[in-house]
Amino acid sequence: MPSTSLALTPGLASFLKSLKTNPIDTSIDNLISLLKRRQIRHSRSCATATAYLLLRVISACRTTDAVKLIERVQNVGRRLVAAQPREMVVGNIVRRVLGLIREEAEDDREMDFNLSEAGSESQPQTPRVPDDASDIPSARLDGSAARTSLTSMFSLLSHPEPERLLPGTPSSASPSGRVPGPSKDIRAEVMEGINEIIDELGQVDDQISAYALDHIHSNEIILTHTSSTTVQKFLLKAAAKRRFTVIIAESFPNNHEATHATVSGASANDEESMSTESFQKPLIAMGITVILIPDSAVFALMSRVNKVILGTHSVLANGGLVAAAGTRVIARAAKVHQTPVTVVSGVYKLSPVYPFDFESLIEYGDASKVIGYEDGDLVDQIDVQNPLYDYVPAELVDLYITNLGGHAPSYLYRIVSDHYRKEDIHF
């Protein structure tokens, strides 16, 4: 029974399989329903699914017009985000794809412009229509300004209005025949870019773990929480060279089974995660002493802990993070004991959203995990709560380690602005 049902369980694997055969609209609806039903859960799975879907969307898009592509992706992205607003990685991937398209389009246009500029130099009078002439340079300037300003302070004050023109104006410009749209197909390049994003998603844990030896010294006692693969890989990498002790809080109602399986090395075949991950060795096989504790014992042990390493669900632009429930008290207890808190996270989890209402980020889970069916009489009488996520404010985190290296929480907004274009933040 399990062997047959596993293959049929809706999830990332089945979605990716169906993606190749199903028509594109079916696939979009499929992913939306998977997200809504939470059959795709983990950040990485969501990100991967979104990236593959957008790849399909773009390859199926018959147009080569950048504007139409952007509109199409925005449209799909909006639906996906609406399906599961708390899975912020979905929005992140959509934003990055949008950024890719814009960049390619700008490159294209710039090249054209330069070509035409070079051509126009031969004849002093430009035969351009006035409105066209005013339009194109402004768009070009915006484009180049946006790109150069990524590393400059000027963009801090730049007005967002002109950039809104980009989706709109070139469409009016293209019919004029000035911009030779069909001449080059930017889709191939965009798809290449998406493939790069997918590759990044696959490698991100290894890239992060490359920094492990910079952060873990010998004989350390490290406390972590949940069965985050990023954290496990990070620790595994360090375990190859150093001897240390790992204390794992089991994160009881929502993730304890996975944690137990991770800890004991009994590979619970979690089809949510990518198949390769289930083959990783457990820490104990590397000779690392692993101590499993209930979540309640965190404060008692914190005085002996050297370092807290946490995984996360998503990271916000202000340096705070949304992570598995229980993370906040752990981070708080670490702060009280002056123990450094390190968060490992792929850049893809970095969200440009600055949420003013933290409450809206919190998802509540299945109450039956807290009080089982055997206590059914209680469920009628009391209000059982099972929050899935905690918001951890930035001041409780000392260090972020992403695939780009280590950063202070206050620096994160720079990384955000490197990865997402301003016009895509609210797409």
Q: Rule CB under 8 A: which residues touch another protein?
A: 1-2, 250-254, 256-257, 260-261, 263-266, 268, 283-285, 287-301, 303-304, 324-326, 328-329, 332-333, 335-336, 362, 368-375, 377-378, 381-387, 390, 393
CB of 58 to another protein, least distance (A): 40
Our CB check for another protein shows the closer of 92 and 314 to be 314
Buried b (16+ CB within 10 A) or exposed e, 2-17: eeeeeeeeebbbbbee
CB of 313 to another protein, least distance (A): 13
CB of 286 to another protein, least distance (A): 8
Contact 41, 272 (CB under 8 A): yes
Name the amino acid, one letter, at 62: R
- Per DSSP bridges, beta strands 341-344 and 307-310 are parallel
- CA dist., res. 17 & res. 11, Å (int): 10
CB of 222 to another protein, least distance (A): 14
Our CB check for another protein shows the closer of 65 and 250 to be 250
Residue 209: closest CA among 410, 308, 345? 345
CB of 363 to another protein, least distance (A): 11
Our CB check for another protein shows the closer of 109 and 237 to be 237
Our CB check for another protein shows the closer of 68 and 260 to be 260
Place of tokens 């899935």: 388
Contact 69, 190 (CB under 8 A): yes
Our CB check for another protein shows the closer of 326 and 346 to be 326
How is residue 194 written in tokens? 């998406």
To the nearest 10°, report the CA torsion of 293, 298, 300, 305. 90
CB of 231 to another protein, least distance (A): 17
- CA dist., res. 177 & res. 214, Å (int): 56
CB of 248 to another protein, least distance (A): 10
- Per DSSP bridges, beta strands 399-402 and 341-344 are parallel
CB of 383 to another protein, least distance (A): 4
Our CB check for another protein shows the closer of 52 and 244 to be 244
Our CB check for another protein shows the closer of 80 and 392 to be 392
Our CB check for another protein shows the closer of 18 and 245 to be 245
CB of 427 to another protein, least distance (A): 30
Our CB check for another protein shows the closer of 24 and 384 to be 384
Our CB check for another protein shows the closer of 195 and 296 to be 296
- CA dist., res. 150 & res. 165, Å (int): 19
CB of 84 to another protein, least distance (A): 20
Residue 407: closest CA among 397, 421, 396? 397
Our CB check for another protein shows the closer of 212 and 283 to be 283
CB of 346 to another protein, least distance (A): 23
- CA dist., res. 427 & res. 75, Å (int): 9
- CA dist., res. 307 & res. 426, Å (int): 37
Residue 403: closest CA among 382, 388, 418? 418
Which phi and psi (to 5°) does residue 328 adopt? -65, -45
Contacts (Cβ under 8 Å, ≥6 apart) of 35: 46, 80, 83, 84, 87, 90
- Per DSSP bridges, beta strands 314-316 and 350-351 are parallel
- CA dist., res. 239 & res. 283, Å (int): 7
Residue 166: closest CA among 194, 199, 144? 144
Contact 220, 289 (CB under 8 A): no
Q: Dihedral of CA 359/363/322/350: which sign?
A: negative
